Structure 1
């Protein structure tokens, strides 16, 4: 069980990194360049995709926490993991609901006033994309030590 936990500890951050990088930094901006995709249509697709991605992120976070608990790493690894989990919690609890409400308004034909919510979400995704491989490397080093 400890070996499986060790493998999960290393695999999850890199899997999670691929998920976030692929969706947030490739799919999300590119969908609006596709022929025939209007802003409301792109936002509707984005809401569905990000809802699914965030659910998967929550599952990955839960499995990572279990793996960390089964084979407790050193303090720096816990700190980086905690930072990733805090970011995810902020995104899920505060930013995503607010962004969903804004998307609903645009889809309904009454765009809301400008806001910095997307910028905040992108900044948090960027920090997450830096922290996840950092966590994976730290955990891999801990495993090999």
Structure 2
């Protein structure tokens, strides 16, 4: 596979993975999760347990998507800002999986057990990380799609 073809394929994969991940993230974190708490027949302990299970499963998916994104960005010979955005997005997933989710899971377990808890910044940090990750993934996708378009236009002009 020629260098241009390989870079085009890697950019296409990068754009696809970024957009797929961004869509899943928006659906889980910014749509399904808040809506769940508006269901009046769903008690808080059940909603929290559903959220805990949902985010555990979604984090596993995100780790897989993070690996795919890292590989495709490296193979695409993306510009340094794109690589930086991808690295930060991957780092945020790792931080969430290794630190924030375990802390939040412990708080959920305590709430379900009926133990009162003092307010903490962890939930807000998680939400901020989700928002930043969404913006980073959109930026990576847009640049990757632009690179594909420029390469396609250059190929059409030279043909």
TM-score, normalization: structure 2? Answer: 0.85
Alignment partners' CA distance in 2, 1:88 and 1:130: 14
Given the alignment of the two structures, is residue 93 of structure 1 paired with residue 98 of structure 2, yes or no?
yes
Q: Name 2:143's counterpart in structure 1.
A: 138
Given the alignment of the two structures, is residue 29 of structure 1 paired with residue 45 of structure 2, yes or no?
no
- Over the aligned positions, Cα root-mean-square deviation in angstroms equals 1.4
Given the alignment of the two structures, is residue 105 of structure 1 paired with residue 88 of structure 2, yes or no?
no
Work out which of the residue numbers 122, 126, 129 in structure 2 matches 1:121: 126
Unaligned runs of 5+ in 2: 151-159
Work out which of the residue numbers 89, 95, 101 in structure 2 matches 1:84: 89
Q: How much does 1:142 deviate?
A: 2.2
Work out which of the residue numbers 30, 36, 56 in structure 2 matches 1:51: 56
1:14 touches 1:136 (CA, 8 Å); kept in 2? Answer: yes
Q: How much does 1:69 deviate?
A: 2.4
2:70 touches 2:87 (CA, 8 Å); kept in 1? Answer: no
Work out which of the residue numbers 38, 46, 63 in structure 2 matches 1:41: 46
Q: Name 1:64's counterpart in structure 2.
A: 69
Q: Name 2:156's counterpart in structure 1.
A: none
Q: How many residues align?
A: 145
- 3-state SS of paired residue (1:63): helix
2:73 touches 2:86 (CA, 8 Å); kept in 1? Answer: no
Alignment partners' CA distance in 1, 2:30 and 2:90: 20
Deviations for 1:113-134, whole angstroms, at most 9, x for unmatched residues?
2111111111111111111111
Larger Rg: 2
Alignment partners' CA distance in 2, 1:46 and 1:111: 19
TM-score, normalization: structure 1? Answer: 0.93
Unaligned runs of 5+ in 1: none
Q: How much does 1:74 deviate?
A: 1.3
